[in-house]
């Protein structure tokens, strides 16, 4: 157990490893969210384009 905040932050001498691991995980989670958002926007844009192309082809056949 830790008796103070500074002992907690020092993590028994493993602070560099522990806090860098937490930091890298947080960065990875943020990057993952940004990638998923970007892919979602791209997919929705492509679906809209395909829908519009299908509608155009159907209208041109009539």
Contact between 11 and 19 under an 8 Å Cβ cutoff? The reply is: yes
pLDDT in tens, 6-55: 999 999 899 999 999 999 999 999 999 999 999 999 999 999 999 999 99
Q: What is the pLDDT of residue 6?
A: 93
Contact between 53 and 47 under an 8 Å Cβ cutoff? The reply is: no
Q: Where residue 2 falls among pLDDT bands split at 50, 70, 90? A: confident
Q: Where residue 60 falls among pLDDT bands split at 50, 70, 90? A: confident
pTM comes to 0.71
């Amino acid at each position: 157990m830790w008796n103070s905040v500074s002992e907690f932050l020092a993590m028994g001498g493993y602070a560099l490893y522990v806090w860098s691991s937490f930091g890298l995980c947080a960065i990875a989670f943020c990057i993952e969210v940004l990638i998923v958002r970007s892919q979602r926007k791209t997919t929705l844009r492509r679906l809209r384009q395909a829908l519009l192309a299908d509608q155009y082809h159907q209208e041109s056949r009539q």
